[in-house]
Structure 1
Amino acid sequence: MTIALISQNSVLRVCTLATLTLLAACDRAPPPTSPPPTAKPAPQDAAETKAMFSAHRVSEHRDADDLLSAGLGLDGLRAMTPPAFANADAPTPAELRRRAIWSNWRGIADLTPAGGFGTLYGELPMVPGREFQAFATVPGATQPHRVLAQVPDAFDAKKRCLVVTASSGSRGIYGAIAVAGPWALPKGCAIAYTDKGAGTDYYDLGEKRGARLDGTLGGAGDALAFKPDSAAAGGIAFKHAHSKDNPEADWGRHVKQAAEFGLRALAEALPQQAPFTFDNTRVIAVGISNGGGAVLRAAELDGDWLKGVVAGEPNVYVDAPGARTLYDYTTQAALLMPCALPKLGLPGVPDIDRRCAAAAAAGLIKGADLPAQQTAAYDALRAGGWTDEALRAGSISVTFDLWRAIAVTYASAYGRFGAGEEPCIAGFAAVNADGSARASTSAERAAWWSDASGIPPGAGVGIRVANPAEPHEALNCLRALWTGSDAAATRVKQGVAATHAGLPRKDLPIIVLHGLDDGLVPAAFTSAPYAAKAKAAGADLRYWQVRNAQHFDAFLGLPQYGSAYVPLLPYVYRALDRVWATIDSKAELPADAVIQTTPRGLGKALEAGHLALP
């Protein structure tokens, strides 16, 4: 079989964007072993949530280093180039941490001076403290997820608070630092993180090299964050696609295990204040995107271990009117959105004639010529629940080939396919400048943990396709895994079914917020049906709909995007304030709201009046 790669232009575009939105940080060598905790929190349901932790690591972060920005501060996080490695082939754990924090901040937040971070919302003080890391495994899983706890030196013993969070997208363990860190750490709250079974623990199948707990490279005989079960002789495997665990089905349990680990870390860090339990420590869950879906899945677990939840732009699916699964609307968008965008006055992709013709040939749309096919594609998307606002914002996912990237990863994850078994494609590999497959370099492998986003293409890794003469063949195949009934489609649909969300505890204060222009995880398919179903069942939930907000705050650094959209993070922080007030002083949750924002316009700085924060 002839193997080729998805166009290098697509990879370069994603890499260019990744360069725009990168972030990382540094840590010190671990101090002497701390005293063991005097007590350990008992899980609420031992059969369901018993934590299994291994490869424990502790590090201190003070002076020119800290928990929130690894000592980079706002100016350092704004730097367009990542913190350098002294030896690119063998960076230290401290260098990897610093760079991972830089990468993840820039991948989530708009840090440009005109964007308002640090002035209108959010703060970045130096927060000294300690980090505790481990691998955790949920019952039944074959691969671990990472957990990390940050305990500030100024932990507030009078209001014991632990914020638990899950990485956005498929990001690594620092993938939610911009979401939880600026709110929690300056208040004296500890934070517990999970990568929820995804992350940047890439594994080179030819070299048999992967990431250790500290991010450095190790061999097959080492304790690695991800060691795939695969006989493939070459290429690259990554945990989200190739764990064979369908991690999304366990997102809620990942979050609870992270909270359990956070309590254990607090007991280890502050033995004089132990024990730390779910009964005596306030645990609040927050996340955005996939992380938002994860904290809502945690909210459905038994027990009153959670005291409040904030979920921003959550990828969540419930069986309710209007709801659609991520795999369904992603594979539809990958095929039809490039063809439909000109109907909104947006530029089409370079090969739009071919893409529209391919969609017609596959029977997805009708039309004898290009204008008719474009109309049919637009009508099909609108009939499926897409709004014009979501389609406009979704155009950037077409530009950066995100629909294809998501579809190939999730097809493998949902179907529990291993490396070398992926449906519709021929796997993943490092790429040359012309797009051909090659062996990875030692420097690339060393930087995957800090630089990658958790889903190729990016960080030098591309997606291989079987037939370069028919670049849309793979997209039709991926869509057929949802619409078809063969063995592969059955596996994928069974995996999707395992991710359906349940309802939260009725007395749990929850705020769900979503941008009404979200073009990657549209609110109409996710938050709106979830909120309606939960509220109808008596949940204590409020739903904020934010006009002129889309999915990627980091994209607001692009002038055209920043002029048209407002950031979502300010509303996440405000929602945390409101949930905390409910927990701390029994204040009422605010009402549901459709927040009327005002885009700042081209060349202007964001002002408080643009946000209309509730």
Structure 2
Amino acid sequence: MTKTHMRRPLCLATLALSLAACAGSSTRGDPASMRGDDALMFSAQRTSLHRGDDDLLTAGLGLAGLQAMTPPTFADPERPLAVEARRRALWANWRGIADLAPGGGYGTLYGSLAAVPGREFHALATVPGASQPHRVLVQVPDGFDRTRRCIVVTASSGSRGIYGAIAVAGAWGLPKGCAVAYTDKGAGTDYFDTDAGIGIAADGTPSADRAQAVFAPAGAAQGVAFKHAHSGDNPEADWGRHVRQAAEFALQALGEAYPDDAPFDFDSTRVIAVGISNGGGAVLRAAELEGDWLDAVVAGEPSIHVDAPGARSLYDYTTEAALLMPCALLAVDNLPQPPLTAQVAPLWTARCASLRAASLVEGKDAAAQARSALEILRTQGWTDGALRAGALSAGFDLWRAIAATYASAYGRFDADAHPCGYRSAAQGPDGSPRPSTATERAAWWSDGSGIPPGAAVGLVDTRMDGADPLLPGLQCLRALNEGDDAAARRVQAGIAETKAGLPRAGLPVVVIHGADDGLIPIAFTSTPYVGWAQAAGRDVRLWQVANAQHFDGFLGLPDYAARYVPLLPYVYAALDRVDAHLDGSGVLPTDASISTTPRGAGKALDATHLAIPR
């Protein structure tokens, strides 16, 4: 079903106030009438031009600049300009999401890095009941097609900042003349130094004025607070509404950009939602919201939680992996490298011994204990492909960082009240907390991933003890998933708030997931979601991609490049298919298990490796 381009009367609203409903306007055409109690409030609005050597897509860096091993510098390392912070944020987010390495195919086989001039519209938005805002951003290219109005709305992957989906939505939508609307979905890199009282202003630069900080924690604390963990809002419960608010802000921004063509409304403007990882989960949550405002959804490797056979919550399988996977991987052959076996084997062997001492695994030696841990994970639904790819998360201690963050978020704990004693701070050589420096704070917004450790902010574990010092904290995190004390009940209540509903009837939804995803295993997320939605008669399709894991950005590592194919080409292909369907010139993808061919060592990626359905 294609969208008409008829324009309905729409009341004009001031920038700081919510859009007001007009008599006679339809639910489709007027965003105010379809959002129920989600009254919009946009603040800290600003507009910037990005042309010449500072375009929308790469801030003028192009492929060569994005491939540089060091980030763009600040003229004053302690006081970056907003334009410098933005350029560095784009560099960091491109590299964190896409495989830009030579031979990886980006910009030649798939994707575009051509300069796109245009304007950016920034603001903060708040959902009803939330104490902290989320960032929204709309990029309007100079080549916006005013005769074929389109918005691509997206949410950052992981806990990334506002540019966290630039390689997903921006790279596809901007060259096609679509406006692209982003949200950080209540996470992001608006860190706050509680010791110095310094946060991040709306333009991405440090500010000692607490009133100007995008995020400032309510309670007293020490170290560094960050929004995903310490907002007190459990932002994941509202990710769908965050996406919708970004789309509504895009309509407002287009009205400002092209006043002669106003009003822009959902009747006259195509809206496609796309995201990967947590962003994929966010657009699936948006798909369930009432109102005929979305035209299609494409979700890549989504973190999604449903009540269906095989489904597991992110917190459940993350805490399980953090505890057991280091030991279990000693019994898995042919692990991709890194992690470097010689470095992690002693640590993983110590984990096996500590698990045996806690009666969590069986066996008299490390080999038997590893086999016991592996059998537990397999029984819980982990595949060997997911375990091999998950070795990277185990080696980088990513499972623990995610679990500590989400325990705070789900339980709505203040920065100094984590039930397992975790906090975040800059750290000295011995791991002890220390004050952050002005140079470190200057790069937080650009370099951070939204979850420490990283960007000179570390994860402080106050329970470290014994031969396996991380174990006490990990056991505490796991107990929050399974226990019955007050802290556990708070975390479990927060997890329950994140369960997804069915997408709107008739809304086309395409889910793409790597069969070897080791961070968000398909068996716990996409497979049960799609089966549940299809059984309810919803228009949901699944592409399962063989030899694809979670992180395209890690395909720059030679062993990963040899073993795995990128997932982004399939996301772009699904967007192409959906867009053609909405134009009436193509059909939607059908369910498919896509057989790919890894390129092997030292070879460049080509189309035969990908086998994208046509």
Aligning the two structures, in what range does the TM-score lie when normalised by the shorter sequence? over 0.9
Give the length in aligned residue pairs: 580
Provide the residue aligned with 1:352 in structure 2.
348
1:461 to 457, 461, 464: 457
Counterpart check, 1:309 vs 2:303: no
Report 1:315-326 matches (<5 A). Answer: 315-326=303-314
Provide the residue aligned with 1:107 in structure 2.
96
- CA distance in 1 between counterparts of 2:412 and 2:359 reads 28
Provide the residue aligned with 2:271 in structure 1.
283
Question: How big is each residue's C-alpha offset from its partner over 1:510-536, in whole Å with a ceiling of 9 and x where there is no partner?
Answer: 100100000000000000000000111
Provide the residue aligned with 2:410 in structure 1.
414
Contact conserved, 1:35 with 1:268, CA < 8 A, in 2?
no
Question: How big is each residue's C-alpha offset from its partner over 1:86-109, in whole Å with a ceiling of 9 and x where there is no partner?
Answer: 001000000000000000000000
Provide the residue aligned with 2:70 in structure 1.
81
Counterpart check, 1:91 vs 2:87: no
**Cα distance 1:64–1:474, how it changes in 2: closer, same or farther (>3 A)?**
same
Report 1:505-544 matches (<5 A). Answer: 505-544=504-543
* Letter of the 2:386 counterpart: A
Residues 365-374 or 570-579, more deviating: 365-374
- CA distance in 2 between counterparts of 1:36 and 1:270 reads 19
Report 1:241-280 matches (<5 A). Answer: 241-280=229-268
* Letter of the 2:382 counterpart: W
Provide the residue aligned with 1:139 in structure 2.
128
* Letter of the 1:434 counterpart: D
* Letter of the 1:226 counterpart: F
Q: Which runs of 4+ in 1 moved over 4 A?
A: 34-37
Q: How big is the shift at 1:433? A: 2.7
* Letter of the 1:78 counterpart: Q
Counterpart check, 1:222 vs 2:218: no
Question: How big is each residue's C-alpha offset from its partner over 1:553-592, in whole Å with a ceiling of 9 and x where there is no partner?
Answer: 0000000000000000000000000111111116321211
- CA distance in 1 between counterparts of 2:348 and 2:200 reads 40
* TM-score computed with the length of structure 1 as normaliser: 0.92
Contact conserved, 1:600 with 1:610, CA < 8 A, in 2?
yes
Question: How big is each residue's C-alpha offset from its partner over 1:126-157, in whole Å with a ceiling of 9 and x where there is no partner?
Answer: 11100000010000000000000000111001
Where 1:349 maps in the other structure, the secondary structure is: helix
- CA distance in 2 between counterparts of 1:43 and 1:560 reads 51
**Cα distance 1:57–1:383, how it changes in 2: closer, same or farther (>3 A)?**
same
* Letter of the 2:582 counterpart: I
Contact conserved, 1:96 with 1:450, CA < 8 A, in 2?
yes
* Letter of the 1:240 counterpart: H
Where 1:351 maps in the other structure, the secondary structure is: helix
**Cα distance 1:400–1:342, how it changes in 2: closer, same or farther (>3 A)?**
same
Provide the residue aligned with 2:24 in structure 1.
none
1:127 to 110, 116, 122: 116
Contact conserved, 2:198 with 2:210, CA < 8 A, in 1?
no
* Letter of the 2:244 counterpart: K
Provide the residue aligned with 1:613 in structure 2.
612
Counterpart check, 1:72 vs 2:61: yes
* Letter of the 1:340 counterpart: A
**Cα distance 1:35–1:364, how it changes in 2: closer, same or farther (>3 A)?**
closer
* Letter of the 2:389 counterpart: A
Q: How big is the shift at 1:305? A: 0.2
Contact conserved, 1:44 with 1:305, CA < 8 A, in 2?
no
- CA distance in 1 between counterparts of 2:80 and 2:129 reads 34
Contact conserved, 1:199 with 1:453, CA < 8 A, in 2?
yes
- CA distance in 2 between counterparts of 1:46 and 1:323 reads 29
Q: How big is the shift at 1:220? A: 4.1
- CA distance in 1 between counterparts of 2:358 and 2:485 reads 17
* Letter of the 1:202 counterpart: Y
Counterpart check, 1:50 vs 2:34: no
Provide the residue aligned with 2:443 in structure 1.
447
- CA distance in 2 between counterparts of 1:474 and 1:373 reads 21
Provide the residue aligned with 2:225 in structure 1.
237
Counterpart check, 1:432 vs 2:421: no
Contact conserved, 1:255 with 1:295, CA < 8 A, in 2?
yes
Provide the residue aligned with 1:329 in structure 2.
317
* Letter of the 2:517 counterpart: D
Mind listing any 5+ residue stretches in structure 2 that lack a counterpart?
Answer: 1-13, 21-29, 336-340
* Letter of the 1:416 counterpart: R
* TM-score computed with the length of structure 2 as normaliser: 0.92
- CA distance in 2 between counterparts of 1:35 and 1:509 reads 32
Q: Percent identity?
A: 65
- CA distance in 2 between counterparts of 1:162 and 1:532 reads 29
Q: How big is the shift at 1:46? A: 4.3
Q: Which has the higher contact order (CA 8 A, sep 6+)?
A: 1
Where 1:594 maps in the other structure, the secondary structure is: strand
* Letter of the 1:468 counterpart: M
* Letter of the 1:565 counterpart: Y
Where 1:83 maps in the other structure, the secondary structure is: coil
